[in-house]
Amino acid sequence: MTDEIRDLEYAIAEIMEIADGFGLDYYPMRYEICPSDIIYTFGAYGMPTRFSHWSFGKTFHKMKMQYDFGLSKIYELVINSNPCYAFLLDGNSLIQNKLIVAHVLAHCDFFKNNARFSKSNRNMVESMAATADRISNYEMEYGTEAVESFIDAVIAIQEHVDPQLIKPRHLDKQRYMEMKIREQRGEKAPRPEGRYDDLWALDDMQKEETPSEGIQVHHFPPEPEKDIMWFIQEFSEVLTDWQRDIMSMMREEMLYFWPQMETKIMNEGWASYWHQRIIRELDLSSEDTIEFAKLNSSVVQPSKQSLNPYYLGLKIFEDIERRWDHPSREEQERWGRKPGQGRAKMFEVREFDSDTSFIRNYMTKQLTEDLDLYVFEKKGPDWKITDKSWENIRDQLVFSRINGGSPYLVVQDADYLRTGELVLKHQYEGIELDLKYMERTLPYLYRLWGRTVHVETRVEDKPIWFTYDGKKHHRKFM
């Protein structure tokens, strides 16, 4: 064992002791020291072992190039798993590693305790490795080109999953949909026998009073379906078994990454908050203090055209701590808030919130002014600041985090005009889709569905349908 590793181990033990004192609750840790190209590979794939695809190679190349040119640097990478894997860049100084070790402990605490991660598969490292294996077997069996081009198509819609934390009526998607279809046909839903069966009888009595209508249009799906990945994999008539398998595996991976997309600002803010608090407790030399300050400021550095999630999250958490430690007289009287509850409140927030509620609930007027936040948009060739009112800033921030920042689309109709055509509806909320991108996405959707596909959205506030029939694009205003 080298001195370097021994020093690091000593430091980690100390840091963990401090973290435990603060009440951080994390999984067993596996720290791996890796060279830069390995860190960047994991960064691009999001996992140590994942299936092969050129798009990962593209990301890897881009990230690695920025590192090589000194433009950006990943110091660490942490995987939401149990045990928790954290990868440290070979060549980090000891003080850099101390910051990172503290930072990833807080990430791990977040993964373990935040509600959005409650359904996370903590064995995803192994699951993804198994997926990679399966896909590479398919490549051997059906050809690299066939598998690759299929994955191209799946990637085009992979964000469209439903990360439901609570299953309605405790049914999985398939069962729930079957139940809805029966309801639609006026059939009684079969139900488990139980103590309260007599209550169902009341329900039936009511039904008899209003006889069900004779003619009813049966919609499929009975309710708009958000999980386009699931729906297509389940109901497309053109997919083969291996293709359905790949789709379902890629959906699982997306569901695994989803909570991370929903809590980016919080998670980074939480980790930045804790690495600062923990390092403060260490006995640092003056050189180390300066180096720590340098690295810390580069991590939480504000940026002009986009928001640094580390910085924003950190500031909001610090603000929560302050406001609950020292509530104003009004807050004490109106809400009964007692002084000194800062930490307790922070732990509560890290457990129950995601980025949207975090910002909606805890972004204040004071904060937007302190941080000098603004709303900007494009006016002619210029990007201009157009708004500085704090509610609009807050709402805009919340909006940008809804659905992980992706447009919200649902399967509206999978048997359009009784021809089996697929209609997706964009739940328009004031922001148009990128039409060029959409028209290039439709052929992929067509490939997965096998019949004509439509997307309903709005342009210039008018409803419009985009259609791709396998050969040509059409668009028409409704």
Partner 1 sequence: MSNSHQPYSFVVSREDWSLHRKGYQDQQRHQQKVKDVIKQNLPDLITEENIIMSDGQQIIKVPIRSLDEYRFVYNYQKQKHVGQGDGDSQVGDVIGRDPASQKPGKGEKAGDQPGHDIVEAEVSIEELEDMLFSELELPDLKQKDKDQIETHTVVFNDIRKKGMQSNIDKKRTILENLRRNATTGNPGIHHISPDDLRYKTWEDKIIPQSNAVIIAMMDTSGSMGSFEKYCARSFFFWMTRFLRRQYEKVEIVFLAHHTEAKEVTEEEFFTRGESGGTICSSVYMKALDIIDRRYPPSSYNIYPFHFSDGDNLTSDNERCVKLIGELMKRSNMFGYGEVNQYNRSSTLMSAYRHIKMDQFMYYVIKEKGEVYKALRSFFQKREGGSVR
Site residues for partner 1, window 393-452 (CB under 8 A)?
A: 393, 396-397, 400, 406-407, 409, 426, 431-438, 440-441, 444
One residue of 46, 64, 134, 184 binding partner 1 per CB under 8 A: 64
Interactions with partner 1, residue window 68-87 (CB under 8 A): none
Applying CB under 8 A, which part among 3-11, 240-248, 254-262, 330-338 lies near partner 1? 3-11
Q: Which residue has the tokens 């998607």?
A: 173
Applying CB under 8 A, which part among 58-66, 198-206, 257-265, 415-423 lies near partner 1? 58-66
Buried b (16+ CB within 10 A) or exposed e, 72-99: eeebbbbbbbbebbbbbbeebeebbbbb
> Please, which residues bridge with residue 86 across strands?
31, 78
Q: How many other C-beta atoms can be found within 10 angstroms of the C-beta atom of residue 109?
A: 24
Nearest Cα neighbor of 246 from 233, 228, 258 is 233
Nearest Cα neighbor of 464 from 476, 452, 453, 448 is 476
Determine the Cα–Cα distance for residues 89 and 109; give it in Å rounded to an integer: 21
Q: Are 39 and 75 in contact (CB under 8 A)?
A: no
CB of 264 to partner 1, least distance (A): 13
473 binds partner 1 (CB under 8 A): no
CB of 417 to partner 1, least distance (A): 23
Interactions with partner 1, residue window 198-217 (CB under 8 A): none
x/- map, 131-160, partner 1, by CB under 8 A: ---------------------x--xxxxxx
Interactions with partner 1, residue window 4-23 (CB under 8 A): 5, 8-9, 12-13, 16-17, 20
Q: Are 216 and 185 in contact (CB under 8 A)?
A: yes
CB of 23 to partner 1, least distance (A): 12
CB of 324 to partner 1, least distance (A): 25
55 binds partner 1 (CB under 8 A): yes
Q: Are 128 and 292 in contact (CB under 8 A)?
A: no
Nearest Cα neighbor of 240 from 20, 2, 6, 447 is 447
Interactions with partner 1, residue window 241-270 (CB under 8 A): none
Identity of the residue, 181 or 282, whose beta carbon is nearer to partner 1 in the bound complex: 282
CB of 372 to partner 1, least distance (A): 4
> Please, which residues bridge with residue 413 across strands?
423
